[in-house]
């Protein structure tokens, strides 16, 4: 899955890589009809995998250097956004990395997760171009933020920067 996460978020390349993984997964499960209900979209598959890495392998990566980072400074990094969703996620993370991590690390369906979602929603406005209409639920927003945290953590953790 790590290889699929290396591609731009929700890109055709990433879609192909996830489809290959899904085929391997389905071969392991067999053809029981119950497994037909396990279909997840690309955003949730990539976001869920990214969240796992953020919670485990990258849980101790210091992201404080991202707080308040300008667009110009971000463009000079190895994890500059390659898609609009990466841009949105990294913008949210740059506004408050700890709040973004808290949102992703909160347990889904709990009051803690609801509080974390409410805390992060004010960061959306400044990260969206005026007049843009967006519909994001907490699960999709979590996937977008998880992917941004994964990309930044994988680069900062690898370089020690």
What's the pLDDT at 158?
60
Residue 27 pLDDT greater than 60, yes or no: no
The pTM of this model reads 0.79
Q: Where are the domains of the chain?
A: 2-159
Residue 117 pLDDT greater than 50, yes or no: yes
The Cα-based distances of 113 to 99, 108, 132, 144, 151 in angstroms read 12, 6, 26, 16, 22
> By three-state DSSP, how is residue 129 classified?
coil
Q: What digits encode the pLDDT tens for the residues 71-110?
A: 999 999 888 899 989 999 999 999 999 999 999 999 999 9
What's the pLDDT at 160?
42
Mean residue pLDDT across the chain: 84
**Comparing 17 with 69, which gets the higher pLDDT?**
69
């Amino acid at each position: 899955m790590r290889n699929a996460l290396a591609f731009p978020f929700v890109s055709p390349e990433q879609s192909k890589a996830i489809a290959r993984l899904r085929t391997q997964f389905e071969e392991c499960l067999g053809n029981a009809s119950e497994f037909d209900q396990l279909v997840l979209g690309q955003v949730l598959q990539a976001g869920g995998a990214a969240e796992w890495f953020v919670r485990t392998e990258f849980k101790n990566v210091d992201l404080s250097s991202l707080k308040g980072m300008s667009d110009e400074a971000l463009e000079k990094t190895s994890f500059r956004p390659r898609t609009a969703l990466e841009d949105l996620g990294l913008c949210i993370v740059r506004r408050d990395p700890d709040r973004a991590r808290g949102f992703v690390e909160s347990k889904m369906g709990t009051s803690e997760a609801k509080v974390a979602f409410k805390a992060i929603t004010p960061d959306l406005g400044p990260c969206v171009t005026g007049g843009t209409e967006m519909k994001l639920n907490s699960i999709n927003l979590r996937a977008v933020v998880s992917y941004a945290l994964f990309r930044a953590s994988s680069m900062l953790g690898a370089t020690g920067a």
